[in-house]
Structure 1
């Protein structure tokens, strides 16, 4: 799953906002908590999270494998959901294009194969809402 959005905010400010895991709770509706944030040697972070998917609370861990200011943040997702989240930033004339790419496996013990198409659509809508919330938050803070 991959989506992009243009944000009328300089790339450094977008990266700085995304680099604080607690800010993700503000813009991601189903992300209910981020906790135990620890710095890593690569400049990134390791953290625990709780994400609600179709009414099910899912706990997991994110480990930032790429921390490349102000262009990229990549996380390995571990726990009931295994996968990767990649945030890429590019700037043209003060407008930042942020591309979110998420790949993950929905485990059978969490959801049946009947529910999987619903959950995928739910997550696609969730991603779109997150990107719109991020844009709104950063463009409003900017002005």
Structure 2
């Protein structure tokens, strides 16, 4: 199983961060390897079910994300189903320094991916992916505060 986790501190309220992350289209805008987000369906728990395509090392992987935990403004957990199986977790908490966002992912790669990509490459790729996603989140939230 591949497991990665990154944290960033933002100068935005937990509520604003959660609201931004609660829209799957925003994930598509900030996550470099997330190529497609569609067929978004609201679930009874307040979460969503989403069809998606990730691209890892040039290989497209289709699946669905099912938000099993939707606890505003603190936490979101998604089950990854399809060609990638695993879990994505977003934890949002207030600290003295600002709002801390921790993005964690754990998943199994399909056999054909492991054969084509070395595990250390995939781990480094995903670490960079999470760092970029969190930096993009900060940029998007910061730019939303600027007057038009």
TM-score interval, smaller chain: over 0.9
Kindly indicate whether residue 145 of structure 2 is the aligned counterpart of residue 142 of structure 1. yes
Q: Secondary structure at the match of 1:36?
A: strand
Task: Measure how far apart 1:12 and its partner are.
Answer: 0.5
Q: Secondary structure at the match of 2:115?
A: coil
Contact 1:63 1:75 in 2 (8 A): yes
TM-score between both structures, scaled by the size of structure 2: 0.91
When the two structures are aligned, how many residues end up with a matched partner? Answer: 143
Distance in 1 of aligned mates of 2:140 and 2:51? 23
Farther-moved stretch of structure 1 (26-35 vs 85-94) = 85-94
Gaps of 5+ in 1: none
RMSD: 1.4
Task: Measure how far apart 1:141 and its partner are.
Answer: 1.1
Map 1:54-69 to 2 at 5 A: 54-69=57-72
Kindly indicate whether residue 117 of structure 2 is the aligned counterpart of residue 110 of structure 1. no
4+ residue segments displaced more than 6 Å: none
TM-score between both structures, scaled by the size of structure 1: 0.94
Structure-2 residue corresponding to 1:36: 39
Map 1:17-96 to 2 at 5 A: 17-92=20-95, 95-96=98-99
Kindly indicate whether residue 74 of structure 2 is the aligned counterpart of residue 100 of structure 1. no
Contact 2:57 2:117 in 1 (8 A): no
Task: Measure how far apart 1:93 and its partner are.
Answer: 5.4
Farther-moved stretch of structure 1 (84-93 vs 98-107) = 84-93
Task: Measure how far apart 1:53 and its partner are.
Answer: 0.2
